[in-house]
Amino acid sequence: MGYIAVCTDPNEIKRLGRRDIVVAWKGAETPHEWMQNLKNILVPAALLASTKSNIEATFKPDVRIEKGFLTCYTSIYEGSGRSRLNAREIVVAEIKRLLNNFKDEDLSITFTRHSLGSALATISLYDIKQMVMNKNYIRSIPVTVFAFASPRVGNLSFAQHVEEIGVKVLRLVNKKDLIPKVPGVFVNEKMGWLARIMYWFPWTYVHVEIEITLDSSNSEVLKETYNRSSFHNLEVYLHLVDGLPQNNNLPFRFPRRDPALVNKNSDILITELQIPSYWWTRRNKEMVKRIDGKLLYSLRSPAAVSIPESSSLLISNLVILLEVVRGLFGVMSHFQIGCRI
């Protein structure tokens, strides 16, 4: 599901003034994870741990989170042969261990990732902040989420509670990316007072914290395309962040990152650059290098096999379409019930 890293570079620790703990979730890759994305309904944020761990559970009925994201965070996939713990149990236990190991140092915790991973990053840091740090640590530890292309995660109460407990969320959003506009196509934070009145509605979603808007039109090396999934690509986001000017009055800077990286999993670079599309072979076609240096074919479990890139783009477009249809159906059904009453 991701990685947990601790800064060990003395120069970087000195520069930051603290030791940083980074948790990087991964985005949706397996069929199981894509299916979770389709569970578009708000449910109470019951962050429940299994009886196999010592992590306590929380239950706030007014705080609601999208069902699919919460399921990914708290459930165990029976088809996995790698772990019998859910993602929440693993991450919270490791953060507790690291906080105890470095209890005499100044620390910070940074969560990050893209798409589904950014939603999980927001949920997990919210969970850790209220369950671990607010109860067991008197001194303040900065906690931050850098969320790339994050969908909406929860309702108004969730967004307010995230801010109240001191979790800082910075969302980076490409204007042409449709994923940050879902779920909650029809009822969301942009409706203002109406969204507050309809907080009980099971499709009323609200984005958290601060948004930085990116625009792929500002880059001279990105072409226009009808494939909306290309604007959701993480490499496109990193390209736009790298070229982001220091203020709005300055032009887009030529990025320091190699633009060729953008076409790893997409076809959005202008033809003049002569960079082939989809040039990266994922997972090295299951070839792995042994300790002795020899390469061999290693068949992974079906649960771990990623969806091919072309299928992934098709599914992401399908998710957006289903979200619009589901949202429209929800609005229509509630409107009809209201009329009958």
316 is catalytic: no
177 is catalytic: yes
Measured CA to CA, the distance from residue 141 to residue 130 in angstroms comes to: 12
Beta strands, E only, the chain:
2-6, 19-25, 42-47, 58-66, 107-114, 143-148, 168-174, 210-214, 287-289, 295-297
232 is catalytic: yes
CB-count burial class (<10 Å; 0-12, 13-18, 19+) for 304: middle
Measured CA to CA, the distance from residue 288 to residue 336 in angstroms comes to: 57
Tokens, residue 281: 């072979």
**Residue pair 263/238 in contact by the 8 Å Cβ criterion:** no
Q: Name the catalytic one among 177, 207, 229, 316.
A: 177
Alpha carbon of 4 to those of 1, 14, 93, 308: distances in Å? 10, 21, 12, 26
**Residue pair 184/324 in contact by the 8 Å Cβ criterion:** no
What sign does the dihedral 109-113-118-121 (CA atoms) show?
negative
Q: Name the catalytic one among 115, 118, 150, 219.
A: 115
Alpha carbon of 263 to those of 227, 231, 235, 259: distances in Å? 13, 12, 8, 8
In sequence order, which residues have a C-beta less than 8 Å from that of residue 294 and are 6 or more positions away? none
In sequence order, which residues have a C-beta less than 8 Å from that of residue 253 and are 6 or more positions away? 242, 243, 244, 245
Q: Name the catalytic one among 207, 232, 239, 312.
A: 232
Give the residue numbers annotated as catalytic, written as ranges: 115, 177, 232
